[in-house]
Amino acid sequence: MHDVTDEFFARYARALLARDADAVAAMYAVPALIAFPGRSVAVGDRQQTRDFFASTWPSYEGVTEAEPQVRVLAATDHSVWADVTWSYGGTVQERFVYQLLDGPEGWQIGVLTPMGL
């Protein structure tokens, strides 16, 4: 499963750095769940994901490098739970646990949970 996660998050990083909201949105399953502390957001369509990411680009101004450090927590044939720490410009900035689902469109993010550093 490490090949799957390494390739997936390398592609995800490229889409983020390209500020390609359509490519990022295509990497999320529909429906998906974003489990923020204190509230969860059900994602009902791809446009919702696209609009969210497009709105975040200004907060990543100047970011030209994104390095995911991926640790697989658990895996089945159809699902992978990955703990990913993101470094931007060599500095650890964010950490999430992603549940990747293998479906008709290939591997996509089904659940995203922000984690503390």
Question: Residue 2: what pLDDT?
Answer: 81
- Cβ–Cβ under 8 Å, residues 111 and 98: yes
Domain that holds residue 55: 2-114
What is the share, in percent, of the chain residues with pLDDT greater than 90?
Answer: 88
Residue 21: CA atoms inside 13 Å, Cβ hemisphere, count? Answer: 13
CA dihedral 111, 94, 36, 13 (to 10 degrees): -40
Q: What CATH number has the domain bearing residue 18?
A: 3.10.450.50
- The number of distinct structural domains making up the chain is 1
Pair of tokens at residue 68: 């995911």
* pLDDT of the residue at 66: 94
Taking residues 97-111, what's their average pLDDT? 96
pLDDT digits (tens, 9 = 90+) for 42-96: 999 999 999 999 998 998 888 999 999 999 999 999 999 999 999 998 999 999 9
